[in-house]
Amino acid sequence: MKRAAPSGSRRRSASSAAVPRPSRPERRNASVELILDKSHYERVVLEALCQAKVSIWIATANLKDVHIEAPIGSVARARGRYVSLLERFESLVQAGVEIRILHGALPSRPFRASLSKRRGLASRRFELRHCPRVHLKLIVVDGAFLYLGSANFTGAGLGAKSDGRRNFELGLVTDDDVLLDAAQLRFDRIYAGRECGACRLRSLCPGPLDELSPKRRAEKPASPASSVTAAPRARRPQSAK
């Protein structure tokens, strides 16, 4: 049974917190699930991302246009068609879900093309931030679901390709509070630009994240592709137990 989040554990700001670096390994029990290959599509994409209620945080080295089965009951589904996951993200954002995507490489051209069609993503609740040093692969949904593994946010990585075409991937899924807190803190430090000051590759960075002005963060994006403002910290739905 999931434990209720401690008061303020994932709602507090991490601005003054340091990345947790225990002096010695901590031994504790945690419930984790190993997922492989196609299971990424079932467990991470369909069961977690597509069912988000509050927030989605994604960190990936590569960012591509992932396609999923069209919604049940639609004409497209009856014809066996697939649609961009950004279409589902648009519905989630319009329902109040906040989405942050932190990526290392520039988004693929098909991703940018799909994004330009989703006017509902021109919102403060949908944001992309680019840091060339990002190579971690992390997905947090509603502050209660954590994926850590090898898969980039691509169709081949997340098992959305057919047998014989998808990547061989390996990852862990958990709802453990301690792991969730540590992973979110690490993500948040990078996303908020708190690692930029000591970065030795700053001169090569196209846009250091610590240079985003308060005014820029407060502005509503003019288009989906310019979604680079700040979002509240990921959290559990209040009804989660």
- Model confidence pLDDT, tens digit, residues 150-165: 999 999 999 988 888 8
C-alpha to C-alpha distance for 57 and 236, rounded to whole angstroms: 12
Which strand ranges, in their side-by-side order, compose the sheet holding 55-60? 32-36, 170-174, 145-149, 138-141, 55-60, 98-103, 126-130
pLDDT of residue 227: 45
What superfamily does domain 32-226 belong to in CATH? Endonuclease Chain A (3.30.870.10)
Flag the least confident range among 61-70, 71-80, 83-92: 71-80
> Domain limits of the chain?
32-226
Q: Is residue 94 pLDDT above 80, yes or no?
A: yes
Residue 226 burial by Cβ neighbours in a 10 Å radius (0-12, 13-18, 19+): middle
φ/ψ (deg, to 5) at 50? -70, -15
C-alpha to C-alpha distance for 210 and 221, rounded to whole angstroms: 18
Q: Is 182 helix (H, G, I), strand (E, B) or coil?
A: helix
Nearest CA-CA partner of 89 in 117, 129, 118, 109: 118
Q: Which of 1-15, 40-54, 70-84 has the highest mean pLDDT?
A: 40-54
The band of 27, judged by pLDDT with boundaries at 50, 70 and 90, is confident
Average pLDDT over the chain, rounded to whole? 83
